[in-house]
Amino acid sequence: MVVKVGFVGCGGIAHTHMERLKKIPEARMVAFYDVVSEKAREAA
């Protein structure tokens, strides 16, 4: 089963969460939002 994950806030601790999620085969990062749009683009 695939679990889709979206991020609201792409700074600080979000990067740690993203790195951990990359190690979970069932996890898919599908959405990124930040009030600083450049941070969201970089995360995607």
When pLDDT is cut at 50, 70 and 90, the band that residue 16 belongs to is very high
Give residue 39's pLDDT.
95
User: Six-digit token pair at 6?
Assistant: 């979206």
Interval 14-25 mean pLDDT:
97
Q: What is the pTM of this model?
A: 0.85
When pLDDT is cut at 50, 70 and 90, the band that residue 6 belongs to is very high
Give residue 1's pLDDT.
95
C-beta neighbour count of 40 within 10 angstroms:
19
